[in-house]
Amino acid sequence: MQAFRAHLIHSPERGRIERIEDALVSFDDTGQITSVAPGDSAPATMDLRARGVLLPGLIDLHIHAPQFPQLGTGLDLPLEDWLFKYTFPLEARFANIAYARGVHDRLVRRLLANGTTTAVYFATIHDASCLDLARTCLRLGQRAFVGRVAMDLADSCPEYYRDADAAASVSGTARFIEAVRALPQNALVEPIITPRFIPACSDAALEGLGALAAETGAAVQTHCSESDWEHAHVLSRTGKTDTAALDSFGLLNRRTVLAHAGHITGADMELIAGRGAGIAHCPLSNAYFGNAVFPLRRALAKALHIGLGTDISGGHSAFLLDNARAAVTASRMLEDGTDPEKGAAERGAAGSRIDFRDAFYLATKGGAEVLDLPAGAFEPGRQMDAILVDLQDDFGPPEDLLQKIIMRATPDEIVTTWVAGRAVSGKDRPPVQSV
Ligand code: GUN
Ligand code: FE
């Protein structure tokens, strides 16, 4: 049993921010919070009050681990060209396990330093690199969902980087699920079924993966209605939207994470809400590849589960708060509109904006809701995943502190990151061996 004495800020529900001065958060050896009480109610194992403010750890719902080396490049191309010119050649390099190990070690350390306590990853099509990513998360102490990417369709995947056939996509995924579940002392990492996106997968692969989802109960992730090209491609191939097609393949359920979803229809939203699936909103990536602004407020109004994703490297930042800011900015542009030639009244979509409070919720408890994960807030029964933030050059009133953290904190100002009550980055972390 441990207990941290600290000033806390969290968002137990969207739109509600709770700030607790001098609290005592107690948690057990598995990292589960047992109580949140006044600071002087019992002795603390650590007193953080003079060192910053404690927030729930950040939850990044969409990361391509093998794309970390190209972060910040190639975004001048449309998605379908970027994949062939930059991304598939880079991901193919992960056949070299020594190369994969180096990237994974640096990525997971970077994300922990940036305050990401839970990460949802696309890995590659290679068994060894996928398993190495899962092991790296375990070794460095990050909570994660790791997916072996399934992509078998010759028309949309290069010859040098695809599964041999649908059966290989399904059996490779099944093997990976078993391997992750068999990792010793694994309380942090789960496998996730990962058809790359419908254009890259045959109907047989998608059906097989849907059956595997039912059989194994594993979570599911994919890209959904990301761009004009992608959305139209799926419509012409299947006669359905991505959402409806995924549903018909058995891939839309309470444990599904749909990345982007910028072009989903009203009917898609109803279907997603009905299945309890969730959306990884990736506003930075969407600005480059999305061709439109995701109607976040409309989706929230339909009670969809929504969190945030960096989409490394479709987005150019490995810091989830950059996406929290981008979510606010994109929503403001959607509300006001973009064409000054039009009059103010007809330029935008009224009622589209979110603010920093909503963005904070999406980055923490909203992400947890998507994953059905007990984390994202300081409440009994949830995991002690947290970040200590110390804003430098902060002179303003205390009530502005959260706004400043969400809108302008830098990774340097994240002093320590804890996952399951264990310090995994920053000053309080014991050294972890490198690869
Ligand atoms: N659609 C299929 N693959 C990808 C990818 O790697 N990144 C993004 N943003 N979209 C995709
Ligand atoms: Fe992506």
What is the pTM assigned to this prediction? 0.98
Q: Could you read off the pLDDT of 355-394 as tens digits, one per residue? A: 999 999 999 999 999 999 999 999 999 999 999 999 998 9
C-alpha to C-alpha distance for 150 and 135, rounded to whole angstroms: 20
Report the pLDDT value the prediction gives residue 311, as an integer from 0 to 100: 98
pLDDT tens for 401-423 read 999 999 999 999 999 999 999 99
Tokens 């010119």, residue located: 85
**What is the CA 318 to chain-centroid distance, rounded?**
11
Phi and psi torsions of 10, nearest 5°: -150, 175
Place of tokens 């607790």: 20
Q: Over 80: is that where the pLDDT of 435 sits?
A: no
Over residues 73-108, the pLDDT tens digits come to 999 999 999 999 999 999 999 999 999 999 999 999
- HSE-up of residue 427 (Cα within 13 Å, Cβ side): 9
Residues 86 and 29 sit within 8 Å (Cβ to Cβ): no
Q: What tokens does 114 get?
A: 């940036």
Mutate to test the pocket of ligand 1, among 226, 246, 263, 289 (most ligand atoms within 8 A of CB): 226
Q: Which of 87, 285, 312, 317 to mutate to test the pocket of ligand 1 (most atoms within 8 A of CB)?
A: 87
CB 10 within 8 A of CB 23: no
For the chain, the average pLDDT equals 97
How many angstroms separate the alpha carbon of residue 59 from the centre of ligand 1?
19
pLDDT surpasses 90 at 303: yes
**355 contacts 330 by C-beta, under 8 angstroms:** no
Cβ 421 vs Cβ 27: under 8 Å: yes
pLDDT at 433 over 80: no
Region 51-65: what's the mean pLDDT? 98
Mean pLDDT on 318-334: 98
Does the beta carbon of 223 lie inside 6 Å of ligand 1? yes
Q: What are the structural domains, with CATH classification, of the chain?
A: 2-56+377-426 (2.30.40.10), 58-371 (3.20.20.140)
Instruction: Give the number of the atom of ligand 1 that is nearest the alpha carbon of residue 260.
Output: 9
For the Cβ of 162 lying below 6 angstroms from any atom of ligand 1, the answer is no
pLDDT exceeds 90 at position 427: no
Would you place residue 63 in the very low, low, confident or very high pLDDT band (cuts 50, 70, 90)? very high
Nearest-CA residue for ligand 1 atom 3 is 196
Residue 33 C-alpha to ligand 2 middle, in angstroms?
Answer: 33
The rounded distance, in Å, linking the Cα atoms of 191 and 174 is 10
* Span 29-54, average pLDDT: 97
The model's pLDDT over 157-171, given as tens digits with 9 standing for 90+, comes to 999 999 999 999 999
- Residue type, position 383, single letter: Q
Kindly report whether the peptide bond that precedes residue 313 is cis, defined as omega within 30 degrees of 0: yes
pLDDT band of 431, cuts 50, 70, 90: confident
pLDDT of 141 strictly over 90: yes
| Rounded-to-integer distance, Cα 346 and Cα 109, Å | 46
What is the model's pLDDT at position 292? 96
Q: What token pair was written down for 272?
A: 């997603």
Sign (positive/negative) of CA torsion 294, 297, 298, 303? positive
Question: pLDDT by residue (tens digit) across 194-220?
Answer: 999 999 999 999 999 999 999 999 999
Q: What radius of gyration, in Å, describes the C-alpha atoms of the chain? A: 21
Give the pLDDT mean for 99-127. 98
Percent of the chain with pLDDT over 90: 97
User: Which one, of 187, 111, 133, lies nearest residue 383 by Cα?
Assistant: 187
